[in-house]
Chain A
């Protein structure tokens, strides 16, 4: 009796989860923009975006309200802690045969998550981003990371939303001599024990620090642009882990605990626990100063040998419910108006993906009137941009990191 009940329940579960909905609506055609706008009206877009920063959440709230007022598209911000979880949702839906009517309409994404979704055919095809009306302003010429995301060609499967560059921050009231490479940083930490840390991988800022060190220390950086060759991994990653072994004893809490992300590092700097922090956003410190979150003596610096940089995007899953609405939102996010607001350090301070020279006078003025903020480096001071390694490196490095340092004592 008991076993048969379990069996029938299992069968029901299996059947239901394996059931397929094969009805798929025709993909929207961004070339016919009028029709996209028409269909988008009244749709609700579930935008899955990292929700750990109130300021970014506010910006998303503003974009949602504007898109609602202008195009009648309702945008719901689903606040996620890790974009990998959103990928998991779409993977689960595909596994359950849910090929339309999915929970996710738009994802804030880049790098390994994009690579993973592209590889598993989880993105809306054919490429659409380069057919959106506002694509005309995008700086494809000068920003190679817009068309190649962590060595993976984007092919219009994701629309660029903002730029990122690894920048370090220090407090002029406490720190004078600045390191100029991860090696020098390790030496600096010996003299200033407990005043540096990085977010615990797989947090992406933490992983970015690992990749920065990996790239700087690699004897043959070209290897990093190709997928990991398992036989070579130990050798290529050896300098990185040697450096970490040296660095960890002099880190905050002797590396027995790590902050969860860069926002947590900011709080630790404000509390005077840390002296050098970093973020993937050049105006991070200026924004924080404007919001009473860091003292106004904090300034920025980069390594003269270069720091990692990339672009972040928005993408539409293949089974999204409100594809037209998602396109309307993606297009709005690429508009000079939305991009100028995003670059304002009082709002967010995220570098634009647009080429200002392509804009009309009115939009140029929006950017010209922006103050960079006292702690932000000018674009020409930001130093060379190191390319992101192939996404497989991130996965492999994170795994190795967990194996070595994930379990204390």
Chain B
């Protein structure tokens, strides 16, 4: 029974994820909408981590793959079937092809040139989605379902929507609410298993070695580009999967999903939790999505209520000081938090945890020794 054993890790992980609706209840984070977000962004972040965490290549364009995944999934709903399986598979595959193309070009450069190339490609995709590609993306309105969509597979199976818009389903099971979460959760577990395998494979070790010293890898006999490209494509496919799940839980795709700020968000989540660690990115997702939820719901009156136990003058003062950080200003808190992490804890929350546990162990160890002496 050790965390070195993949089976133990997977059992533990599955138990934690599947029981999330139960153990997140005390902090009020157990409603389906937020749970789905945890799982979807979790997939996005662990995929991004395969590229950034292992190889150190910082992509600022991963939102493009998220967007492609969403568009593909919605098109699958429109043309083929409301069943989510083809949507998810196609979303992942199409993003993979797209990632192959962009990665093949971007990986001709490294360092900040690579970052800027990915950024440029993503911005181009975003701009084109708004303008020229309107027939595919439906421009600013976003791609939506309509009752008149052909849905060939559904039609062949004799499924015709009775009234209103059809809903996404898994062989008849509706993909909203908790069942939607469990579908995402199962995919998250599978995705986590893939990253776990990669992290503990010779392939993964080589990726970390590329991050540590790319030049040395080349002289050690490795052609680094196919390694980087495959990692890029895998992480792009994760992003595409996450994007298609967004469409599964809410069948709508808009270009804003591809903007570079969305790429920035996944960078934030990964770094905050701890890039290059297995569960760090998931922690980052949890922290950011949870607090985004709490903080953006807060307003001045809620703050005032929270400070109610304090003397009136002090409470007013605190309300004034803290109000820019909540509600609309949640991003301010996020930016500050992020800066603090990059400055003081480049390894993210995971580094913090390991520092604390080492400290505790030393303290406990010392206490044990002195106890034995006396």
Q: Do A and B bind each other?
A: no
List the interface of chain B (C-beta within 8 A of A).
none
List the interface of chain A (C-beta within 8 A of B).
none
